[in-house]
Every structure is written in structure tokens, then in C-alpha cells.
Amino acid sequence: QVQLEQSGAEVKKPGASVKVSCKASGYIFTSYYIHWVRQAPGQGLEWMGIINPSGGSQTYTQKLQGRVTMTRDTSTSTVYVELTSLRSEDTAVYYCARQPGVVAAPLDYWGQGTLVTVSS
């Protein structure tokens, strides 16, 4: 069965960086895009960006340009998101989600979420 297993919760200080992982299983890793979506406490869903595990190309939300990097390791079927220069507003649950490799397709499977807390 399709699974997206995310790494555990993180606590970081302002100005630090965080790297969250998402390990995929149960399907052909390179045939589906991976998105990252975050949700601040009590707030809605915010799209962060997308990576194509096949070629590694990425597209990021303009809001996070320059602070976010998405990478993948095809040998372990794992995708990573790294966020630098953390600030309190980055405190959120971070989700990875899969999209079939078709234009405008939905996010059909989601990881369980990773809580990142930014606090001094």
C-alpha cells in the first residue's frame, strides 16, 4: 500500500535550519511528484512547493523563495525539504503529499505530518 513516512518532530531556534524527510513506499517513486504543504497552528493549508523525483526539478512558492530547498534521493525513495533562517512564523506541521504525474492532478496520498517548532 502507498505510504509516505515522515521524520519526527523538531524544535529549532530562530535563525537555524531544519530538514524534514518523507520516505515513500508502495509505488514507483519516480512516477509521482511530491509536494510539501504546511499548516501553522489553527490555520489553513499553505502550499510550499513541488519536486519531481524523476529529474529533481523543483518549483517553490514565491513566499519562501531563497529559504526553501527540496531534494530527493532515488536510492532510498526519500524526499527532503530544508527551510533556512527559521522564524517563529515557520512553526507549523509540515506535510508531504503525492501527486500523480499528470498536469493539475490532485494530492492523493499524504504523510502523517511533522511538527516543527521554532522557539528561542
Residue 2 and residue 17: Cα distance in Å, rounded? 29
Which region among 11-19, 54-62, 66-74, 75-83 touches other proteins (by CB under 8 A)? 54-62
Residue 56 and residue 17: Cα distance in Å, rounded? 21
Does 38 contact other proteins by CB under 8 A? no
> In which residue are the cell numbers 523525483 written?
53
Binding track, positions 58-87, relative to other proteins; x by CB under 8 A? -x-xx-------------------------
Contact 64, 83 (CB under 8 A): yes
Q: Name the site residues for other proteins (rule: CB under 8 A).
A: 35, 37, 44-47, 50, 59, 61-62, 95, 97, 103-108, 110-113
